[in-house]
Amino acid sequence: MKEILIKIIGSYYNVLSYVSKPYAADKALYLFMKPRAGKINEEQSDFLNTAFQEELKYDNLRVMSYRWLGSGQTILLTHGWESNAARWKSLIIALKKKGFNVVALDAPGHGKSGSKVFNAILYAEFINVVAKRFAPDIIVGHSVGGMAAALFQHKYQFAKIKKIILLGAPSEFQDVMKRYTDMLGYNHRIVSQLHHTIFERFGNTPDSFSTARFLETIESEGLIIHDEDDRIIPYNDALLLKNSFKNSQLITTKGLGHSLNDVSVAHHIYTFIGA
Statement: 60-172+210-273 belongs to CATH 1.10.3720.10: no
Beta strand pairing status for 138-142 and 163-167?
parallel
Run of H or E including 1:
none
Residues 138, 76 contacting (CB under 8 angstroms): yes
Mean pLDDT of the chain: 96
In this prediction, residue 166 has a pLDDT band, given cuts at 50, 70 and 90, of very high
**pLDDT, position 4:** 86
Buried (b) or exposed (e) across 141-155, using 16+ Cβ within 10 A?
bbbbbbbbbbbbbbe
Q: Is the dihedral of CA 102, 106, 111, 114 positive or negative?
A: positive
pLDDT at 225 over 80: yes
Residues 164, 138 contacting (CB under 8 angstroms): yes
Distances (CA, A) of 232 to 22, 80, 93, 168, 175: 28, 12, 27, 9, 11
pLDDT at 271 over 90: yes
By three-state DSSP, how is residue 72 classified?
A: coil
Share of the chain above pLDDT 90, in %: 95
Domain boundaries, the chain: 60-172+210-273
**pLDDT, position 51:** 98
User: DSSP states of 112-179 as a string?
Assistant: T---SS--HHHHHHHHHHHHHHH--SEEEEETHHHHHHHHHHHHH--TT--EEEEES--SBHHHHHHH
